[in-house]
Amino acid sequence: MVKKLWTSSFVLVAGGWSALLLSLFYYVIDVRRFRGWAMPFVWMGTNALTIYLVSNVVDFDALSARFVGGPIATWLDATVMPHFGSVVLALVGLLLCFLFCRFLYRRQIFLRL
């Protein structure tokens, strides 16, 4: 973090936005009971320590580059918009993390301390 960034006004604005978003998600998920869209966050949250440890061993960026890197990323950069291939690479890496967490969640595998 940049030390100059943490001014008192920045902390108040960030805290205010965090409180507003927390109340919005509480209302949507707990009060209105719209929970289906939040399941990937449950998968990631129940295996947060596991995915952190696995991401130090398994290079998800290299795996996503195997799937959509090289000519696909170059084609996306040339036809869609510049640097769009990098965005797709990052999203595929995140998707691989979510799929791994879903696999662990479905098998009831949790790393607990």
Answer for the pair 98, 47: CB distance below 8 angstroms, yes or no: no
pLDDT, tens digit (0-9, with 9 covering 90-100), for 75-89: 999 999 999 999 999
pLDDT, tens digit (0-9, with 9 covering 90-100), for 23-68: 999 999 999 999 999 999 999 999 999 999 999 999 998 999 999 9
Answer for the pair 16, 22: CB distance below 8 angstroms, yes or no: no
Give the whole-angstrom CA distance, residue 96 versus residue 55: 11
Give the whole-angstrom CA distance, residue 21 versus residue 83: 30
pTM: 0.76
Give the whole-angstrom CA distance, residue 37 versus residue 32: 13
Give the whole-angstrom CA distance, residue 72 versus residue 65: 9
Answer for the pair 98, 40: CB distance below 8 angstroms, yes or no: yes
